[in-house]
A and B are shown apart, each in its own frame.
Chain A
């Protein structure tokens, strides 16, 4: 489903069946599969399928860039907070304070100050979810730093940078991947929510959230049209969460069936 999202986003860059912003007053509320409109049209006669396709660009872009921001913010803060040295406690408290800030509110404030755009939405979602990632990652890193193999690495003369790079980051990676896949899913939802509220993607760029907002007024008359963007959002969110689980299993050799993990497995007595 994730691959499908990225693929549709790519395809829509080059081609959509109709211009997603083209208003055709002669054919409003066409049912699906009529007049070449796969999913029909909305009240202004705009092609729904084309809008969905074009909206996937915003969704994919927001999700991926927000996840990158969240990863940088999360891992950075977590390392600063987890590695025992002066100031670590301070960073840990800072994370706790930032976690209390609601992501959507942050986005709205940013949008109010700097104007609603994809950039502010990405920054707000990335930072807002990044501190949550940081909190989870810090707890995980602290437990890794307390293990015998980290002590063993210190006994073998390894420095802090080396230990973080060689032992801590790989061991928290599975948790991070799951967290970041949740961030991807959250970012899709948050972007849709922001656009729905009018704080995200400015018109006329099509976005799933704004489609929902535009169409919700007609839900009692044309219930089907609202289904499409809603379904798209739900499927993509589901896709990102299941991607996280799959990646986690692929990364952690302990979760792999014996024999496939390493060729050495069969020869061991």
Chain B
């Protein structure tokens, strides 16, 4: 009660003052009315101001009153220095917003625990070994029979869960007319129980739904998918969905928050692993293995036990494999199994973006430090201007702590204003980055909630930033010595030294930011300008399916139909497009020798595909419509180098060696120039193109279920024809469906998404860092010229030349910048080890990489020093001398 009225009195301070004054006045009036002398009565009463203060102490919460006064005073200070405050708030807002944004992304992708019962007990499995070039490799794919053995061995210490790589797949509801894409994941039926998940509707999959291969056609859809695709329709239970030639019945909707165990992908449909076509194959690694470890179980013994089980399985499996080199066998069997915490799930996106995001966070952090240094310098300069005020406050009895509080309140106001602006920026920018890393065919979806985690980070950030830029100036202000300050002779050197140190730090950080973003930009530039061996312009890709299979002749007729459409230059067909990350590989045997350790890669293509792609034929000929697989192939230059030792292979034969010992002969009819097959970043793979007309053992032509039509358009925007093409295909033959349309350029761009993101953000942050450093430098120089006005004036009066004055003003700052550059350079060189995996054909030590940052900084320094120098030169000695 009492505290409350005291707090309330803070807010009605003026009224309180009026009331106290009125009471005192009435007291004096009474005294006079009793006949006392007015002057004597007033003297006896004492100073009303002191009376007021004494009473206020009882009636007002003092600390709060002080805070209130500081807030009002701080606000006036900020308003008085409008431009400075706005610059400080804006630069802080930008940096803090970027920080929060980076935190949101990192948190969502890497830190946030999955919304399951005990995320800390979830673990992920991986295998580590060495490839044929003795480089360490890791893979997390498993074959189901191996998994089944491991699961049995792991009990009761842990329950193992199989979860396939979530795939964006064609599927249909109701009729085949409406084909759509959905994110499908095959998971162990018992996963939902193990993770402690409860259905929103219907039921979830159970262990009973995952026993017999092919016997459990049930699907569970995610809450998010139910909301978007079915508008929360409660009658969704019992709907059937078709996936290829399988039908599934929807039995339930998952819990609200659960979006799968792969951050970056929101799984939409969960199917039992038993329905996967490879579930009985011992040689197909198609799912991840996760484990929910029992409370109290220790990991290492479990790891050792499962490693033995899995190695044993692979050793058994490879027993029948002939012709495997000892080294390859060793790498396939003697791997190390690792069990790592998967509190926040496991996903490809985590692997792809972990390092990139950490670097972005680092750049953002550096920009924040630069902004803080800037604001600290601004505050120091302001504090210098207020030195007399501070001295006055100390001499009339203000305590040190009270002064620190006053300056910190100002800092807090700056930080809070910046945080408000920054949160708007963060609100917008985090989803923007997610959109940036999405590609049309693989939209990234990150759940980015603005909850207590983000809020908590924001609060810590505000406090940290406030202390970072506010504490030092506040402490300095409080140690003011009244006597010397009132005389106007406080030691200006120490303050300047402090500001110089800030400038050096700024320049060093700025150097690092510019250096790192230079590496990112060059990487992106070299990657996008890499020769790709084909022409990706005006190339439309129609991924097409024929659910019941169609003979190659029908596919070829469809190509003719498309070719006849207006605006089409040429049409060809392939199993899938280059750079769509699909791969088909096998060992290669020459002259009946052993299968190779290195794999050859395959792609089915139609005659004319090379022309449509504009790939250069180096020797031999293109396929004819009579060619078939097996027996003919066109190989690329790398294939020739690797398997034929560079000798022209046209007319020679190689064999595709299968794991089970069968060998498919291929006669080389042509050699084609190198082109990236799967990823732009990886070295060129040895590729053998084979005819899309496939024969089985008996020489019978096989039907094809899916393929991609490549349409080279005459117009520069091939997407304009997409809808027309889709309709045409459906009209021409009822059994064909276009499931996806994209351009080759999109596929190409999709592969440099991360590099583009890093380059864009790098340029942005480098620009911000340079701008902030420039502003900081300008502010400090301006301040030092103002401070040394008298000295400069006297020097000029004594005949100092203009060049000498300019040197006087800039020498110190230029030395500081040089020191900062050297420190930044050292930091840059030191950091390169951690950045190499993100770079493409760029060495951190390249001269141009090291030259760009100093040049950029030099330009900024010159433009920031020019105004201060000209100001120094415009000083009129006569005026200075007069004023002294």
Q: Do A and B bind each other?
A: no
Residues of A within 8 A of B (CB): none
User: B residues engaging A (CB < 8 A)?
Assistant: none
